Amino acid sequence: MSILKLNRFVLICPRRLLSHNYSNLHTNIDIIVDDVKKVVDFNNSLLNKVDTKSNFDSKVFANLEELLGSLKGSLSKLEVSPSSSISQESFSKFLSTFETNLKAEVAPLL
């Protein structure tokens, strides 16, 4: 389109129409910008939740490692010689206590 034709087009079109089109375009761009901001805010909130959950899970796993370390320490302290025996009742109580502690530590993950 030549510049002469473009000038004629601009002169023929009412300024009100151009102003209205600009206003509509501006409104549409504002809507798009607002939607993009909402998407960014939503993604940031999800990232914050993931980071928080990750930190919480790390603490739970650290507690589990500590619990398993204490189990290993407790088992190593049991003095069992080939000629001695551990009563089934005492070993059952030991495992029951460990199971209760383990369930308490794992519950936040589930």
Question: Residue 71 carries which side chain, given as an amino acid letter?
Answer: L
24 dihedral zone (left: phi>0; alpha: psi -120 to 50; beta): alpha
Please report, for the chain, the start and end positions of each structural domain, with discontinuous segments joined by +: 17-75+89-109
Residue 88's CB is within 10 A of a number of other CB atoms, namely 8
pLDDT in tens, the chain (110 residues): 566 665 566 566 656 565 666 777 888 888 888 888 999 989 888 888 888 888 888 888 888 888 888 877 777 676 666 666 667 777 777 778 878 877 777 777 66
Could you tell me if 108 and 60 are in contact, meaning their C-beta atoms sit under 8 angstroms apart? yes
Rounded CA-CA distance 73/75 in Å is 5
Could you tell me if 64 and 106 are in contact, meaning their C-beta atoms sit under 8 angstroms apart? yes
